[in-house]
A and B are shown apart, each in its own frame.
Chain A
Amino acid sequence: EIVLTQSPGTLSLSPGERATLSCRASQSVSDNYVAWFQQTLGRAPRLLIYRASIRATGVPDRFSGSGSGTDFTLTIYSLEPEDFAVYYCQQYGSIPYTFGQGTKLEIK
């Protein structure tokens, strides 16, 4: 099983700032099948990024994914008020699919 470790656990920033979220895998992720999700309270996760760097339909271009192998990053350029949420990475390259423990992005 691939274990995903996200850091930091909590990130405190102000609107307009840049957020950098990290996701490290315990072993290389097949085909870089890493996704990033955004979740707000009481809602289902929303797909932001798939295959490490491709934005899903309708996702603003301030969201950017990068990385390969075992190290992946989600960058949010110029934070908007609606971006403050919890973010999860996921690997879907090998069964069992696994998620990171999440990064909470909060307003400073």
Chain B
Amino acid sequence: QVQMEQSGAEVERPGSSVKVSCKASGGSLTSYSFNWVRQAPGQGLEWLGRIIPVFDTRQYAQKFQDRVTITADKFTDTVYLELSSLTSDDTAVYFCARHNTVTTILGFDVWGRGTQVTVSS
């Protein structure tokens, strides 16, 4: 059973950066893209971007284009989200979700449990 294991909660100062990880346990990064979705308190779901590790390609939502970086380590089956220039508006739970790139019809079928990021001075 593939699981997406995310790193623990983070508290960051405004203006700093945060890096969150997501490890695919029980599987590899091959044949999948990995997406990052966030949810601010009491709000809906917002897609930040994705990476396709086998091709090392990535795409970002325009809103985050200037300050988000998604990377992958194929040796440890781990993907990372780094978000810079943090403000209080970035306080949210950050989820990773996989998407099969071969059978694209399946959608976001496996999600991590989420990582709480709190931005506070």
Contact = CB atoms under 8 A, between A and B. Distances in A.
Q: Please say whether chains A and B are actual partners in one complex.
A: yes
A35 interface: yes
Contact-residue bracket for chain A:
20 to 34
A97 B35 contact: yes
Contacts of A54: 105
Is chain A's binding surface mostly helix, strand, loop or mixed?
loop
B107 A33 contact: yes
A45 B107 contact: no
Interface of B: 35, 37, 44-47, 50, 59, 61-62, 95, 97, 99, 104-109, 111-114
Contact of B47 (A56, A97, A101): A97
A31 B104 CA distance: 11
Interface of A: 1, 31, 33, 35, 37, 43-47, 50-51, 54, 56, 88, 90, 92, 95-102
Contacts, number: 62
A33 B45 contact: no
B45 A45 contact: yes
B44 A56 contact: no
B95 A92 contact: no
Contacts of A96: 47, 59, 61-62
Given A50-B107, A90-B107, A96-B61, A44 B47 contact: no
A92 B62 contact: no
B105 A51 contact: yes
A44 B113 contact: yes
B47 A98 contact: yes
B109 A47 contact: yes
A44 B61 contact: no
B45 A99 contact: yes
A99 B61 CA distance: 13
B107 A51 contact: yes
A92 B109 contact: no
Contact of A35 (B35, B107, B112, B114): B107
A83 to B, nearest CB: 19
14 contacts: A1-B62, A31-B105, A33-B107, A37-B45, A43-B113, A45-B37, A47-B109, A47-B111, A50-B106, A51-B107, A90-B108, A99-B46, A101-B44, A102-B45
